[in-house]
Structure formats: structure tokens, C-alpha cells
Chain A
Amino acid sequence: MDVLAVALAALFAVAAVAFVARPFLAEPEADDDRLAGLTPGEQGRLELLEQRDRALGALKELEFDHRTGKIADADYEASVGPLRREAAEALRALEPLAPPAPAPVEKVDARA
């Protein structure tokens, strides 16, 4: 290996090590070094939010498919009730956990 190659390789290795060590160099004494994760309770709430969004999304799609004629009236009637119940259940379960200023809940919009 020629001298230039050795010098370049060494320079590159030092720069790489400095970059890798940067989080520790920038913050030698971290106030909080923990990864932000979710507690099981928060995970449960997240699942309720997903359930709510899934039901609302399905309602939107059902409305649109009904409008396009893909879904017959009878099929629409059979599906819309359970979906509304599903969304309502998720909203009810989330209600006691709601923060002081509740976030706006997405409206069911058939145009979406």
C-alpha cells in the first residue's frame, strides 16, 4: 500500500470514528439517555386510535363505493351499521382518556 493510500485511509477512519462518537462527544452527560418508547397503556391507546381511524376510513370507502354503484343498497345497509358501531366503540373507549383539549375527530366525508 503506498503512503498516500495509507494516509487517506487513516484520515477517513479517524473521521468515521469521530462521526460515530459524535452523540457522546456532543452530549457527554445526557440528562435522559433512554429511548422514548410506549408503555403498554400507551400502546393500548394507540391501538384504539388505529381502530377508530380504520372504521372511519372504511365508512368513507363504503360511502364512495355505494355512490359508484359497486355496493348494492342491501349490502350497504348491512355494512354501515357495524362500521358505525365499531367507530363509536373506539371513540367511547378513548373518551375517558381524552386530554383537556380534544383533538378534532375526522368527519366522515363521502368525497374522500
Chain B
Amino acid sequence: MPGLGSAALVVAFGLVVYAAVAGGYAAYRGRRRLLESATNALFASFASVLLAAFVLLAALARHDFSFSYVASHTSRELPLGYTLASFWSGQEGSLLLWLLVLTGIGSAAVALNRRLISTVLPWTVPILGAIASFFALLLVFVASPFGTQIAPADGVGMNPSLQNPYMLAHPPLLYLGYVGLTIPFAFAMGALASGRADERWIVATRRWTLGSWAFLGFAILLGAKWAYEEVGWGGWYAWDPVENAALMPWLVATAFLHSVMVQEKKNMLRVWNVVLVAGAFCLSLFGTFLTRSGVINSIHSFTQSSIGAWFLGFIAIVAAASTALIIYRLPLLRSRTRLESLVSREAAFLYNNLFLVAFALTVLWGVIYPLVSEAVRGVAVTVGAPYYDFFAVAFGLPLVLLMGVGPLVAWRRASLRAVGRSLLWPAGTAFVFGILLLLAGAGSSPAGLVGYTFAAFVLAAIVLEFVRGTRARHALGGGSWLAAFTSLVGRNRRRYGGYVVHAAIVLLLIGAVGIGGFATTQEGKLKRGQSIEAGDYRLTYLGSEQRRAANSQELRARLAVSRGGKDLGTVLAGKNRYFAEQQTSNEVAIRSDWLRAEDLFVIADQFNPEGSVFVKVIVNPLVNLIWLAGLLFVGGALITLWPDAREQRRLARRFAEEGALARA
């Protein structure tokens, strides 16, 4: 029933336009019932988009190739999981997912903050409606997933690169992150439009930013895991423009999550914070534009389309409107508090923000420079990994240092002597660790040695913070040490959850340095019975074998693996030839040793007629810490996201007092 899907989208378009126009009028004129009506339109738009999504999912599940979208992205032999995942593998479907997530979490945000919105931030509803209108407009008039045709016997299938379990979860999580940044943007701009610069919008904005940031960060790591397994070059992050597109809003949102604390504690950086919120949202739109427009060459960009101009126009409107509103409200946003000392927690956050934003901007320049060069000079250029690696080190190492130093510095001001005393243990630990590494031969990669020493410094600082805090809580409350520890974390989830996230970033650094600085690569042509050695491993080629899978023919080289004379079994690396898609994909073999956190990564290429095969073997030390960091990151994010009942009580009491004062 493509007609039902199209009609549902038309209804959704009407509803979100109404939410924008009627909501805007209601907020401007202060009309309560009209704002409620606009809010209901936003809720109803979610139901309408959900209906459209069900129609598409049902068509996918039934292999209804009369839907052009279904025929273009699936085939009869495609496994069901990937068939349903093709909802977001194409242009039109992913736009529908954008709108579904936007109206869904937009409705949830409005429902959860209904009182705040009706009394404080009425402009939030029309802003959400306006953003949703853009995506609904694209889906109704430019890129509908409900186009029809005479059904062919079979579809053209799915890009083999997308046929990976991580691609089932990566795009929806990425979109939750991208689209989630709409909510803090709507709250922030709603607060500015309403002329409210008090703490209420900050609390609501911070929570939604945290959620979106967590989804985005986890999705980036899932995408990296997909690239590691599926693209098969042995690395995990290639500074690809589409990877960078997700990294940029994540960096800016990270900056906001730090600087918002300065606003909450010191009432400073108020202009800067709204700029960061607007910047993160614009970058999330830019990320979608890069992925969906096909203007850049990327291993992650699976489409060529004409929606790029629409996106650029929308991004320009959003950026211009946000800038105008921020400038208009500058008198309201100006802070009356000044930085008391350059050696203080707020100063550390400021430095952290400068590095994060500078890094995001250099990445942005690296992404857009090829486009600018081609448009202005007509010269096609590429910005490669050395450019990004340089800035990752230049901005990343100070950021890592700040992760260790910042938590040990007091708010407002700290004497250098006190800071020096606080840093003594972490710095001493890092120094000893660095010497031990040097003695162990890690000096072969100076960058790696520095990275690991910094990582030891940050981890020692985090441990010190937990130890000091637990000791103080134990002294105050008595009880067991475990009770003191849980009480410490429970009473300040944001701070200690943040430390867990810092520990995750350090794990990621250790893994990234391991794979970047200490990986071993060997390659060669092997005949049956011949061996190749890489690191401690020895691989012997046993022969090739073929197997027919559901939708592909699998060709594999079987290699026996041993380490130090000990047999570790066999690995299978090779290629898949997909029938419907008429494409071939590399299927690498990965043998993980979780105790050493390292991977044996095997690529088998060029199966020759005389029976030989070309094999590339990479030993990636500590790479599994990167994936472990992802889990720790989620754990830390959950701790920080967990509702803080004391903060709720404090806000409720304040507003009760405000009401009492107003009546006095």
C-alpha cells in the first residue's frame, strides 16, 4: 500500500507545518490553547510518520518490489535482518528514519517537559515543527520512499559492505545522536526567543545533549568496528569525510557538556554555550548532508542525489537564524561573572573547550577543503590522514593532559603549590610508567611512548579522585568502604560518571596508539603448506574452500595459526561473491586474544589458478581496548544520565519559592 505511506507522509507534513506556524503564533501572542493544539500536532505527526514507516517495513518484509525503494535496496535472497535494515540503507529510507526519530524524540521531549514548555519555553514546539517540516517536505516532494513501478522478478540487492551486523545498529544509533541534537537546539533557541536565560533551559538542554552525545559517541565506535571488520584495511578509523561528519558534532557537544558546568556553577560562558548548541546542531545537519548528498567520495557514502542543495539551503537558514537570535539576545546573555584565575577548574574547562572546538574546526576544514578547492579553483584535492593525524596529536595530547589536570584543580582559584601537590602522584606514576615502557622497548614509537605516559597520568589522576572522594565520604558517613564509594558516585553522578567516560577515552587512546604505533604487518604469496610469520604468530596456508551462503558464494583460504609453537586453530579469510548485487567483498579473518587485547587480522586476496593465495597478516596490539572503551563509555554515560533526584528537588523547591514570591 504505497498510497497509504504517501498519504501518511502528507498528513505528517501538514501537521508539522501547523505545529510550526500555529505554535509560532501561539508563542508570540501568548495563546495557551493554540500552543496545546500545536503540541498535539507534533505528537500526531509522530504517529503519522510511524504509520509511513510501518508501510515501508511491511513492504520490505514482503519483498514488494512494486515499491521502487524495496527493489533498489533488497533482493529475495537477502537475509531478513538486512532486508529490514535496508530501511535506512538508501536515501529516502534514511530521510524517513530522520523524520521518525525527530518527531519521536521531539514529542518525548515536549511531553516530558510539558510544564516547562507551556510556562517557560513555548517557542520549543514551533522550532521542532519547523525543523521537522524541512524533512517532511523532502520526503513528500523530493525523495519519497513510496515511489512505485511495475514489480520486477527480483531486486538489485544491498551493497555488500552494508551486509554486516554492526550496520544493523550503527545507523539508527547515529541518527539518534544526530537528530537528538535537535532537542537541545530547540530548547536553547526557544529560551532565547522567549527571552529566558535562567537555569531551567540549561538543565533540560544538558540532559538531551548528554543523551544525544552518548548515542553519537557509541555509534561512531560501532561504525569504526564495522569499518575494521568490513572495509578490511586493518585500521579502525580512516579520517573518512563521513566518519569525520559524525566526529565534528560529537566534539562540539563534548565541549558544551564541559562548558555548561561553568555556566551552572559560575553563570559564565552563556553566549559561548548557545553558540556550541547551535554549532553542534548545524554540524549534525552537515553530517547528514555529507552522508546523503553524495558530494564527497567516501567509503560510507552510498548515494548520489540531488538533495544536497536543499540541505545546504536549510543549513544556511538555520545558521543565519541562530546567529541573528543570539546577537539579538546578547544583552540577556552577557555574563556578569569574570574568570577569577587562570589556574582554576573553569579555566581548565575553557582550555578544554578551545582545544575541542579548534580540533572540530580543523576537521571541518579538512572535510570541506576539497569541495571548496573544486568549486573555486576547479582542482580536485584530497586531504589525507597525515593532516588529521597532525591535528589529532596537536590538540589531542593537551586534551588528554587536561583530562588529568582539570579534575584536580579547584573551582574559582587554586595556588600553583596546591595544584603541584595534587599532581605529584599522577605525574610520578606516569613518569615511572614511562621509564618502564622505555626499558621494555616501547621507544620504537616515540608518539606511542608519549601517548601511553599521558594515559597513565590520566588514569592515575582518576584513581586518585575516586580514592580521595571515597576516603572523605567514609570519614563523613562511616559505614563500609563500598557504601562510601557508592554514596560518593550516587551523590555526584555527573562528576564520577564523567571520570568513567574519561577512563574510556584513555582506553581508546591506548588502543589507538597500540594499533597506530606498534602494529606488525607481513604479506606474501603462499602456496599450500607455506607459512608466513607476523609478530609472534606463524600462519600456514592449508588450502582454499568454497561454500554457498544464503545470497553469496564464499571463497576462503584456510590458515593454521600457531604462536610460540602452540597450535591456536585455523582462520578463514577470503571473499564473498554476491549473486543479486553482482559485487564482491573482502571478508577478513580476525582472531581476538582478549587476554592480550590484540587481534590477528588476516586478509586473503588474489586466489590464483595454480592454488596460491596472496595473504596480508597484521597483528594489532591492544586494539580490543578500543571496543572495550565503547562499553565503558556507555557505562559512564549512563551514570551521568541517571536522573538526579536531589537536583530535581532543588529545582522544584526553587520554582515553588518563585511562585510563592510572585504571589507575595
Say yes or no: A1-B47 contact (C-beta < 8 A), given A46-B198, A67-B476, A68-B469: no
- A interface vs B, CB < 8 Å? 1-2, 4-6, 8-9, 12-13, 16, 19-24, 27, 30, 32-39, 42-43, 45-47, 49-51, 53-54, 57-58, 61-62, 64-65, 67-72, 74-75, 78-79, 94, 97-101, 103, 106, 110-112
Choose one: B7, B31, B410; the contact of A5 (CB below 8 Å): B7
A61 in contact with B411 (CB, 8 Å): yes
A33 in contact with B33 (CB, 8 Å): yes
Which residues from A are CB-within-8-Å of B402? none
A5 in contact with B4 (CB, 8 Å): yes
Task: Give complex CA distance A98, B417 in Å.
Answer: 44
Say yes or no: A58-B35 contact (C-beta < 8 A), given A71-B414, A110-B476: no
Say yes or no: A9-B3 contact (C-beta < 8 A), given A20-B41, A33-B33, A110-B476: yes
Which residues from A are CB-within-8-Å of B51? 12
A45 in contact with B118 (CB, 8 Å): no
- B interface vs A, CB < 8 Å? 1-4, 6-8, 11, 15, 18, 26-27, 30-37, 40-41, 43-44, 47-48, 51, 118-120, 122, 194, 196, 198-199, 264-267, 408, 410-415, 417-418, 421-422, 468-469, 471-473, 475-477, 491, 646, 650, 653-654, 656-658, 660-664
Say yes or no: A67-B472 contact (C-beta < 8 A), given A20-B37, A33-B31, A74-B415: yes
CB pairs A–B below 8 angstroms (26 shown) = A4-B1, A9-B7, A16-B47, A22-B37, A23-B37, A30-B32, A35-B35, A35-B118, A36-B118, A36-B119, A37-B194, A38-B120, A38-B658, A39-B662, A42-B658, A43-B196, A50-B198, A50-B654, A57-B265, A70-B408, A71-B414, A72-B415, A72-B417, A97-B661, A97-B664, A103-B660
Which residues from A are CB-within-8-Å of B413? 75, 78-79
Which residues from A are CB-within-8-Å of B422? 69-70
Task: Give complex CA distance A111, B27 in Å.
Answer: 43
Choose one: A34, A43, A50, A111; the contact of B476 (CB below 8 Å): A111
Task: Give complex CA distance A71, B43 in Å.
Answer: 50
Which residues from A are CB-within-8-Å of B199? 50
A75 in contact with B418 (CB, 8 Å): yes
Choose one: A8, A32, A71, A100; the contact of B410 (CB below 8 Å): A71
B198 in contact with A47 (CB, 8 Å): yes
Say yes or no: A21-B37 contact (C-beta < 8 A), given A33-B31, A67-B476, A72-B415: yes
A49 in contact with B33 (CB, 8 Å): no
A68 in contact with B43 (CB, 8 Å): no
Task: Give complex CA distance A34, B32 in Å.
Answer: 5
B411 in contact with A62 (CB, 8 Å): yes
User: How distant is B530 from chain A, measured CB to nearest CB, in Å?
Assistant: 61
Task: Give complex CA distance A111, B30 in Å.
Answer: 44
User: How distant is B127 from chain A, measured CB to nearest CB, in Å?
Assistant: 16
Which residues from B are CB-within-8-Å of A37? 30, 119-120, 194
Say yes or no: A54-B267 contact (C-beta < 8 A), given A2-B1, A27-B33, A42-B662: yes
Which residues from B are CB-within-8-Å of A65? 410-411
Task: Give complex CA distance A101, B194 in Å.
Answer: 31
4 nearest CB pairs, A to B: A1-B3, A9-B7, A72-B418, A23-B36
User: How distant is B38 from chain A, measured CB to nearest CB, in Å?
Assistant: 8
B119 in contact with A20 (CB, 8 Å): no
Say yes or no: A24-B664 contact (C-beta < 8 A), given A16-B15, A16-B44: no
Which residues from A are CB-within-8-Å of B657? 49, 103
Q: Which residue of A lies closest to B22 (CB)?
A: A20
Choose one: A19, A39, A45, A54; the contact of B265 (CB below 8 Å): A54
Which residues from A are CB-within-8-Å of B468? 68-70
Choose one: A20, A53, A54, A67; the contact of B15 (CB below 8 Å): A20
Task: Give complex CA distance A16, B196 in Å.
Answer: 32
Which residues from A are CB-within-8-Å of B664? 97-100
Q: Which of A16, A100, A112 has the most CB of B within 10 A?
A: A16
Q: Which residue of B lies closest to A49 (CB)?
A: B654
Q: Which residue of A lies closest to B41 (CB)?
A: A20
Choose one: A5, A23, A94; the contact of B40 (CB below 8 Å): A23
Task: Give complex CA distance A72, B120 in Å.
Answer: 42
Which residues from A are CB-within-8-Å of B41? 16, 20
User: How distant is B353 from chain A, measured CB to nearest CB, in Å?
Assistant: 20
A19 in contact with B43 (CB, 8 Å): yes
Task: Give complex CA distance A17, B8 in Å.
Answer: 13
Which residues from A are CB-within-8-Å of B15? 16, 20
Choose one: B27, B40, B410; the contact of A19 (CB below 8 Å): B40
Q: Which residue of A lies closest to B199 (CB)?
A: A50
User: How distant is A76 from chain B, measured CB to nearest CB, in Å?
Assistant: 9
Task: Give complex CA distance A42, B8 in Å.
Answer: 44
Say yes or no: A45-B658 contact (C-beta < 8 A), given A35-B118, A70-B468: yes
A35 in contact with B408 (CB, 8 Å): no
Task: Give complex CA distance A23, B37 in Å.
Answer: 6
B265 in contact with A79 (CB, 8 Å): no
Which residues from B are CB-within-8-Å of A94? 661
B30 in contact with A13 (CB, 8 Å): no
Which residues from A are CB-within-8-Å of B3? 1-2, 5-6, 9
User: How distant is A95 from chain B, measured CB to nearest CB, in Å?
Assistant: 11
Task: Give complex CA distance A101, B472 in Å.
Answer: 37
Task: Give complex CA distance A112, B1 in Å.
Answer: 59
User: How distant is A23 from chain B, measured CB to nearest CB, in Å?
Assistant: 4
Which residues from A are CB-within-8-Å of B414? 71-72, 75
Choose one: A35, A47, A97; the contact of B30 (CB below 8 Å): A35
Which residues from B are CB-within-8-Å of A58? 265, 411-412
Choose one: A34, A79, A97; the contact of B412 (CB below 8 Å): A79
Which residues from A are CB-within-8-Å of B11? 9, 12-13, 16
Q: Which residue of B lies closest to A13 (CB)?
A: B11
User: How distant is A25 from chain B, measured CB to nearest CB, in Å?
Assistant: 10
